[in-house]
Amino acid sequence: MPVDEQVLEKILATHFCSTGMFDDDYDSFLKSRAKLILARAEELSQCDR
């Protein structure tokens, strides 16, 4: 993993993960990731009128 925190955050964001994934709490990780995925799906499903 990169040492630079900003680089790490950018990499994780492309996989819908946050740095909180390193807290070793799988349930929190799943909930957080599900929210990020849902937000992106909602963003993509918006149609321009």
Q: Using 50, 70 and 90 to split pLDDT, how confident is the model at 49?
A: low
Give the structural domain span for 20. Answer: 5-45
- The pLDDT, as a whole number, for residue 19 is 87
Please state, as a whole number, how many other Cβ atoms lie within 10 Å of the Cβ of residue 13: 12
pTM score? 0.75
| Residue 37 · residue 16 · CB < 8 Å | yes
| Residue 12 · residue 18 · CB < 8 Å | yes
- The pLDDT, as a whole number, for residue 48 is 64
CA distance 34 to 29: 8
Residue count of the chain, please give it. Answer: 49
What would the pLDDT profile of 10-47 be if each residue is shown by its tens digit? 999 999 998 888 899 999 999 999 999 999 999 999 86
- The pLDDT, as a whole number, for residue 44 is 92
CA distance 34 to 16: 8
Provide the domain count of the chain. Answer: 1
